[in-house]
Chains A and B, each alone.
Chain A
């Protein structure tokens, strides 16, 4: 008893120690060691704390389950140039977004957080949302900013709650975004016995998963910033994230399937298609006028596809149910514009009206690293027309202004397609093209007789290079078109001062022209000449630390053959012949003597759509060896 009383008695010394501890720790909590963060994560955005809690709630009124997602963020900006500290939170019409609070802090010289503004979030702006200049009628953002000018280093904390009225729209959650370092992140999903869901995780290295009867929790610490470049793959290829797909709910004993499998996904897509009631008289009449007297089926398809390509403009108003329901075919035909769904749907209707087996087809472009093994709306972002013709499936993308109906745009290669077949569907994969189909051929003569060597080149393109050229040409302004040949080849001509471009010839399958100018990659003194004859034809770089894999536009081959004239004698070291790389990416650069002439040969083959997502060693080794040729000297005497 006495012991117990003694143990409860608090001595003054203890009070002092306790108070000191409280004061000290509160000081610590409020302090930000900027130099530490800068050292550990670099300048830019570091999210100190990110917490996302997902819970399912039963709504008595609609007698259905909804998802409530709470977001809390504490973000530190170091060396920031945006004085307004604008924060944008996107949402769509199947969600209710409620901003709870937002505060901006500056960090004083002692590292203490000092409140700058407690934002009145109820007055935050609600704005329309543009993604890549595409207007989505039902996507919006709520945004707020600091009314004071923010210093270079500041903290913003904010939280908000999103209510998902339709569980189909609950999908991906990212632990970090591009150019964002994260010190501490937690995503938790509270289990509910009446809601079954599946989780698909991506790139969760170093993220701990804890699961018990009541929740699943993911915890990440010290996630370094990824630094992407203009040739990087999209964030979903490498950033840690999860996709939650709600399988089914038990609503008072009634089992409702939401997205248990891709069947459910297709069922919903198909239901939207079924709602379409096009004016088939108009469509038939239009299709007849397009095909005219043609009797050959291939010609009919070609005429219909080209009519859509040439007459329907891609006006990116993703107007409809969350960008999922196409506009009526006759509306698109009459208004002469549409988004991808509207254009695909018009193609399907025009082709069907002529008796062709055309179908609606959904897919994610190469910006998405998912396939239909995941039953989620996040998997796709595009619609095309599938055409079964002569026992083969063709994929027609009417948004492309350059490819023929027999070809598929490069950004769809290798992707899985969900093709409608009435109440059923099939998933097919679009083939990756052959690098020998997409070629740049550069041949020419490098004349060393003048103090500033001259070069004359003949350039030829095939495959996707041609489609890209034609597409760029069609969309370019009148005054810029004539310079397209230069800007299309310029990247491959480092060290060549182009003076003239001529004999430009374009056809559907081949583009060719000639280039002449001066060659600058030399060092010349007292009669000695060092020539650096290899062109820098590999436009991709090494993948450095914390950088994502590179996105290759399409499989391709670059061939260069230069004849070197009037260079004098070459020592034996000039003869190099080496095959670099592997079956996915390889190069063969060498010089060659034929009679009295020297030739420089370069062949670069990229037979892949992106470099390895995890192991960059082989790619970096390849890039290093290929780039070394840029400074490979030929020493003349």
Chain B
């Protein structure tokens, strides 16, 4: 009998884990909180007075097994300044998720509206509706899965909305092996007076990597807090959405790690370089060279004459497996890990052959830049190798770029600061911060022949023949995709038609692309094609018009709201030199009303643009040539960028009038 009772008690004890609840500190703050007078807010639709995240990690016992429970409490207080702000924050969404492998459960929630006169209106949380996520939710709710949705009561402009909620993750893992790492953005769409993260993880070590926290920026910040750490940032400006903006490169975020034992080998760049050292044990059995082990590969490389040829062979050995399995290239997320493995094998191979080499750890400048305070492989996007050839020239090659040749360095890595590990012929390694040079300038060129055809009622038929050329870095950046598209000869035509369709202006609904031909060389490629288009015209009118933008896709239109006030410096990340020629073949049916305003010329620090035309009565030829000079600009230089964009846009949308 006693045994039964004991068993029952044990069972009860095992099942009845401590009930999850809202973080106590957050809850106390919520209960005490009142309407706050704010003096330092900026003009915005809402002011986030605070946005606090409490992460509580602990061990629990459930069904006789130890597991990890991760409780996350969000406590936010938001002042509503406009109707738009009200519409953004008058609903509360709490993400929940349940499937076989992962559960994110709702624990509890409290919501109140604080009025300036001290009145407090509480929203009953039993009104929650579990639903899918509507598309117009504020960005920090935008995640997959289901949400619990609650409409918050009695909010007017000027009120403060305050809510606190907790979700729970039970991780079915031995707590000894649990670890979590995540990256939290510290920027919202609205001005935020305080954003804090509190991590409480008894029995675990916590590491924080704050990025771009201004003055307080510090690696391994140890802000003591209960059993863990906390970190706060104040007066965070909202996100700006500007053309060529690279403000995201400087937006504050926090990477954290919770782990039983954090033994980071890469505490310093020296450690990082040491950790790179490829051991025999690590590399011996690696079969990265299309099934060949390193020893087999080395035997083969040694038979090749000349350093340059040896590296060409290595590059081919790396690229071939990728070229044969391009889904790996397109789908893989952890490319840097693979590059790291390649680099280690290459390091060992060239050491045996006594050839010096440099490994440059690079970051895609479109998305980030080197943070010297953050010593981690995971801030890098790829590894580029360089070596000195017999001709004393330095050659570069990337480790994760299928179909690439020597010096085929993508534009996003050119001119960037990188971390470099240099290995001499004896295999001794040193490290430094270095820069990838800029090279491979090139352009996108289009030659377009527009044949004006018959007029039928209210339509004119156009036949368009185009030759699209990529050279230099425009070719390098498109090479992997294009070579992949033409690799399977049975689908080449279909693939290229799709590619071409993507390059035509959005207004074109073209189904009739035909005669597609592709040719490529090391430094360039050409795609020729033809399509037909019907243009709506007014049969009541004697004059029709066409615009260059009817045939050329471009992004030079600057919306009115993005013109006047530039707030952040920028980077012309996706601009290539352009060279377009359009020939309008008129036959006898039309003549052109000449317009000298189509001759435009502008030159400044950032580029040079020339447009021109010639007229031989039956053919009107017009050209557009845009060469970029610099790709980073300060706020004060925005007007120069705007002048270039406006001139380009003015030409591209200018009407060419043709009289019947």
Contact = CB atoms under 8 A, between A and B. Distances in A.
B134 A474 contact: no
A523 B85 CA distance: 47
A127 B129 CA distance: 12
Contacts of A474: 83
Interface stretch (B4-12, B370-378, B535-543): B535-543
Interface in A325-343: 334-337
Interface stretch (B63-71, B148-156, B285-293): B148-156
B52 to A, nearest CB: 25
B594 A334 contact: no
Given A135-B149, A498-B560, A128 B132 contact: yes
Interface stretch (A165-173, A274-282, A554-562, A624-632): A624-632
A315 B149 CA distance: 12
Given A130-B134, A542-B458, A313 B153 contact: no
Interface string B140-169: 000000000101011110000000000000
Contacts of B151: 315, 317, 335, 337
B84 A315 contact: no
Given A337-B151, A624-B539, A313 B560 contact: no
B511 interface: yes
A123 to B, nearest CB: 12
A430 interface: no
Interface string B30-53: 000000000000011100000000
A628 B540 contact: yes
A86 to B, nearest CB: 13
Contact of A631 (B131, B136, B149, B657): B657
A128 B131 contact: yes
Interface in A68-118: none
Contact of A452 (B134, B536, B597): B597
Nearest to B511: A43
Contacts of A497: 646, 650
A628 B650 CA distance: 23
Interface in A275-297: none
A631 B154 contact: no
Nearest to B596: A525
B584 to A, nearest CB: 14
A490 B545 contact: no
B560 A478 contact: no
A135 B93 CA distance: 13
Interface in B523-570: 536, 538-545, 560-561
A601 B371 CA distance: 62
Nearest to B593: A523
Interface in B565-605: 593-597
Contacts of B595: 522-525
Contact of A127 (B132, B540, B542, B561): B132
A400 interface: no
Contacts of B646: 497
Contacts of A337: 90, 151, 153, 155
Contacts of A137: 129
Contacts of A542: 458, 536
A530 B560 contact: no
A23 interface: no
B81 A133 contact: no
B545 to A, nearest CB: 6
Interface in A301-338: 311, 313, 315, 317, 334-337
A140 to B, nearest CB: 10
B45 A478 contact: yes
Contacts of A625: 538, 540
Contacts of A490: 560
Interface string A467-501: 00000001111111011001100100001011000
A315 B90 contact: yes
B597 A478 contact: no
A525 B45 contact: no
Interface in A118-142: 127-128, 130, 133, 135, 137
B560 A334 contact: no
B91 interface: yes
B131 A135 contact: yes
A235 interface: no
Contact of A495 (B81, B153, B593, B655): B655
A273 interface: no
A204 interface: no
B43 A478 contact: yes
B538 A624 contact: yes
Contacts of A335: 151, 153-154
Contacts of A627: 538, 540-541
A194 interface: no
Count chain A CB atoms within 10 A of each CB in B81, B132, B149, B151 and give the residue with the most.
B151
A530 B593 contact: yes
A514 to B, nearest CB: 15
A133 B597 contact: no
A580 to B, nearest CB: 9
B84 A483 contact: no
Interface string B612-653: 000000000000000000000000000000000010001001
A521 interface: yes
Given A490-B560, A520-B650, A633-B543, A478 B538 contact: no
8 contacts: A334-B153, A336-B155, A523-B593, A523-B597, A530-B657, A542-B458, A624-B539, A625-B540
Cβ-closest 6 pairs across A and B: A628-B541, A523-B595, A628-B540, A483-B561, A128-B131, A631-B543
Given A498-B560, A633-B593, 19 more contacts: A130-B132, A130-B134, A135-B149, A315-B91, A336-B154, A337-B90, A337-B151, A452-B597, A477-B84, A479-B561, A483-B560, A483-B561, A486-B560, A521-B655, A522-B595, A524-B597, A525-B595, A526-B596, A627-B538
Interface of A: 43, 127-128, 130, 133, 135, 137, 311, 313, 315, 317, 334-337, 401, 451-452, 474-480, 482-483, 486-487, 490, 495, 497-498, 520-526, 530, 532, 541-542, 624-625, 627-628, 630-633
